[in-house]
Structure 1
């Protein structure tokens, strides 16, 4: 069978566990124990979806960092003792831009904590994936190859299966190589930086998954040879 290379869990160190960050840390530590039992060398968790609407005070990402950093550092310090590396993904809008993710990983400043880079997710915040990967690849523990179809937000809503980026553009998951993500550029950057971690496909297309994955895997192998 296939080895488990990463264990993925949700987390929110501002809103999770009814807003009790210590309880959320304890809960995520329990997930680290699960990762160890499974033999997974890494665990991906979220940081936060952002401040709740009713929160009174400053709500920028920089204002969230003093709340996120100690919680995530405590989790990864615990995980290091169990032999599990932890990482945050560019995911969920609030912690998705490359500059925000870089601030977080540098703030935590722990050799056991890094980034799960999702190539496609940068489009959710209207950021160029190649430029974003160029910034974050030095911190990468794991990489998702993902592709999206993109339509401008000035066009009519294309309907079911599409969702909006932060700026209102329309995105829909696609087969690797069928969308707008500059995959070859992203892979070339990874090769230049000698990334030697896991590269996995995350498929969110409307096509039948076995078909979409088979075509996407073939394309990804071809792009890797070209990079």
Structure 2
């Protein structure tokens, strides 16, 4: 089993205790012996100060930490803009901002970048916009050797059938999928996961929240999600993404224990 860790495991320490991405890299290696991380873009800010975003010095420090601890970047999650919005001018601005973050992902040696698939007004669905945006981003990232990822994460990507259509129509070799255990609506969680696992899966977000006394994940059936992973013979990275209210380190430990139990 190949393990990775998503930096959003430490959302609260970032917001409340001044944690930095360098701390995440150190924890991944020294506490969990994990040598692959997925970074959420805003967590590359030094001390979460937006004034420090995109500074070469800040990124150099992160790159130095990656080299020091022997950790690599599996993916950068870019939660900027709306590539599906109807306003062409605003969409252009957002795509250009995402390209800037793709540049930084490449600078850090990331294998991939995951923009948000975006939102459209309720009752309207024009996937032509989303497809065209992803094509442009794939072509741009491809020049830098990166994959572009689509995650089942709100908006147009909250429907597995939308994801399948977008994936097939983008039709780029560097366009791949993140499958998140929690992000589909509860009523289609397992069916949705089963559908998108037929696509080209780059990584799986093993999202957990709270645990019962037996160490089982409470919000959904963890074992059922693992059954889907096994059914499709997936052998790639399982990225731990603990987002509960408890201690982050303990939450990650419990998530890894569940993975070892069921994988």
CA pair 127-105 structure 1, distance change in 2 beyond 3 A: farther
Scaled by the length of structure 2, the TM-score of the pair is: 0.65
* Bigger fraction of residues in helix: 2
**Separation in 2 of the partners of 1:19 and 1:126?**
35
Give the secondary structure class of the aligned counterpart of 2:217.
coil
2:148 counterpart residue number:
86
Structure 1 residue 21: Cα displacement: 2.0
Matched residue count:
189
Structure 1 unaligned runs (5+)? 54-58, 148-172
Superposition pairs of residues 151-190 of structure 1, within 5 angstroms: 173-175=209-211, 177-190=216-229
CA pair 211-186 structure 1, distance change in 2 beyond 3 A: same
Which of 29, 39, 49 is matched with 2:99 structurally? 29
> In angstroms, what is the RMSD of aligned CA positions?
2.2
Equivalent residues of 1:97, 1:127 under 8 A apart: no
**Separation in 1 of the partners of 2:231 and 2:188?**
18
| Higher RCO (CA < 8 A, seq sep 6+) | 2
Structure 2 unaligned runs (5+)? 1-68
**Separation in 2 of the partners of 1:27 and 1:184?**
39
Which of 119, 129, 141 is matched with 1:49 structurally? 119
Superposition pairs of residues 41-80 of structure 1, within 5 angstroms: 41-51=111-121, 59-61=123-125, 63=126, 65-80=127-142
1:131 counterpart residue number:
191
1:164 counterpart residue number:
none
Deviations 1:189-211 (A, max 9, x none): 22232222211111111111111
Structure 1 residue 184: Cα displacement: 2.0
